[in-house]
Amino acid sequence: MQNLLDFDAEGLTAWFAEQGEKPFRAKQVLRWIHRSGVADFDAMTDIAKSLREKLKATAVIAPPTVVSDKVSEDGTRKFLIDVGNGNAVETVFIPEVERGTLCVSTQAGCALDCAFCSTGKQGFNRNLTVAEIIGQVWLANRALGAVHGDERVISNVVLMGMGEPLANFENTVTALRLMLDDNAYGLSRRRVTVSTSGLVPVMDRLRDECPVALAVSLHAPNDALRDELVPINQKYPLVELMAACRRYLEKAPRDFITFEYVMLEGVNDSDTHARQLISLVKTVPCKFNLIPFNPFPGSPFLRSPAERVRRFADILMAAGIITTTRKTRGDDIDAACGQLAGQVKDKTKRTAGRVIALKEIRP
Ligand code: SAH
Ligand code: SF4
């Protein structure tokens, strides 16, 4: 059985052609699946009964299974999604006055092992399929009641959940195309953000194949410190990363890169670090998003005090860099940045925090 959630418009059209069906049929079905949130072929009322029967015999619309759905005191909603073999990933919806942002995962675990990241500490399990990535948007849309046409409950998507999107490039790009497609989710390129720890060659591919807004996880102003905190820096050091950011901006839908910077007390949060950052990024039009560190069990870091974060932001602002501090949302349900451990079983036997097999949390 073919899962139709694995296809973007081009893939679905090609698959329909193999079945002897016309492109406009593929477009109709794509709209039913993604715009109307339909999983049942019989609900596709403008599709001939004969084609519906044919589709039922050969295809399914199969999103992953939601194993839990929790709402935080601040309205943040976290879906825990079963991706098989005892693994789960998390999807987080963050409602705000002017927009609703869905934070989507791209891998079960992550191989890049950043020092302060709960997902990294779980080790890498596997890449998510297209159906599992876009399925998070599909499921959240349905859960949020946004299945009929133009209601835009989800106005923004950020690939900032579990995993490194650029390490799962093909599937991520296919899912991005669906997010952007007017016959699917119809989001603007400016409202879809890929966050990367800095896979330099793949940043170039993203720019060429599917440019969307880009966030880069910087976290340190010099190579010595970044080598420690974000080990991929040993392969792609800061000078290369900054050059890749400049190249990205040549084709990006936004005219700045967002640098994410997790504030770790006594590690990367001094005035000197802030001043080093200013000189590091002087050739890259950018904004900064400071993220107060979210602790997880066994993590060796502390969150910088609010006053330190404010002072750090002031130094960047004084140099003309727009700097925001991320509000910590959903931490009462472990949905905040870097807390997304996903109860992935620890495949690497690293000692990590909340390692709970799915069967243990099922009711
Ligand atoms: N792998 C991608 C996207 C997922 S992580 C990346 O690294 O960019 C999304 C963001 O959360 C990144 O900026 C990451 O560095 C940050 N993050 C990870 N662990 C965190 C923690 N414990 N507290 C706060 N932010 C964290
Ligand atoms: Fe992976 Fe991003 Fe976590 Fe680093 S911060 S381990 S790249 S998910």
Distance 338 CA to ligand 1 centre (A): 5
Domain ranges of the chain: 2-60, 65-361
pLDDT of 346 higher than 50: no
Percent of the chain with pLDDT over 70: 89
Mean pLDDT to the nearest integer, 68-75: 90
Mean pLDDT to the nearest integer, 39-66: 97
Distance 318 CA to ligand 1 centre (A): 26
Where residue 309 falls among pLDDT bands split at 50, 70, 90? very high
Mean pLDDT to the nearest integer, 8-30: 97
> How high is the mean pLDDT of the chain?
90
Helix runs in 210-259, H state only = 223-229, 238-249
Please name the fold of domain 65-361. TIM Barrel (3.20.20)
Residues 345 and 86 sit within 8 Å (Cβ to Cβ): yes
Bridge-based pairing of strands 59-60 and 77-82 is unpaired
Of 103, 114, 245, 337, which one is the catalytic site residue?
Answer: 337
Which residue has the CA at smallest separation from atom 8 of ligand 1? 196
pLDDT of 354 higher than 50: no
pLDDT of residue 339: 60
List pLDDT tens digits, range 168-220. 999 999 999 999 999 999 999 999 999 999 999 999 999 999 999 999 999 99
Which residue has the CA at smallest separation from atom 1 of ligand 1? 164
Kindly state the tokens that stand for 15: 């698959």
pLDDT of residue 85: 86
Residues 19 and 53 sit within 8 Å (Cβ to Cβ): no
Who wins on pLDDT, 104 or 354?
104
pLDDT of 340 higher than 70: no
pLDDT of residue 175: 98
Distance 337 CA to ligand 1 centre (A): 6
Kindly state the tokens that stand for 322: 């727009």
Mean pLDDT to the nearest integer, 84-99: 91
Where residue 350 falls among pLDDT bands split at 50, 70, 90? very low
Mutate to test the pocket of ligand 2, among 160, 172, 200, 217 (most ligand atoms within 8 A of CB): 217
SS3 100: strand
Which uninterrupted H or E stretch holds 68?
A: strand 65-71
Which residue has the CA at smallest separation from atom 15 of ligand 1? 217
Q: Which atom of ligand 1 is nearest to the CA of 164?
A: 1
DSSP lists the bridge partners of residue 68 as 80
Q: What is the CB < 6 Å shell around ligand 2?
A: 110, 112-114, 117, 119-120, 163-164, 197, 217
Residues 110 and 119 sit within 8 Å (Cβ to Cβ): yes
For ligand 1, whether the C-beta of 117 sits within 6 Å is yes
Of 90, 132, 164, 260, which one is the catalytic site residue?
Answer: 90
Known catalytic residue at 337: yes
List pLDDT tens digits, range 117-174. 999 998 999 999 999 999 999 999 999 986 554 456 899 999 999 999 999 999 999 9
Who wins on pLDDT, 337 or 24?
24
pLDDT of 290 higher than 90: yes
Taking alpha carbons only, the member of 144, 108, 104, 137 closest to residue 124 is: 108
Q: Which atom of ligand 1 is nearest to the CA of 292?
A: 24
What CATH class does 2-60 carry?
A: mainly alpha
Which ligand approaches the C-alpha of residue 111 most closely? Answer: 2
Which residue has the CA at smallest separation from atom 6 of ligand 2? 120
* CA dist., res. 168 & res. 163, Å (int): 9
For ligand 1, whether the C-beta of 197 sits within 6 Å is yes
pTM of the model: 0.92
CB atoms within 10 A of CB 342: 29
Handedness of CA 37, 341, 163, 127 (dihedral sign): negative
Distance 149 CA to ligand 1 centre (A): 33
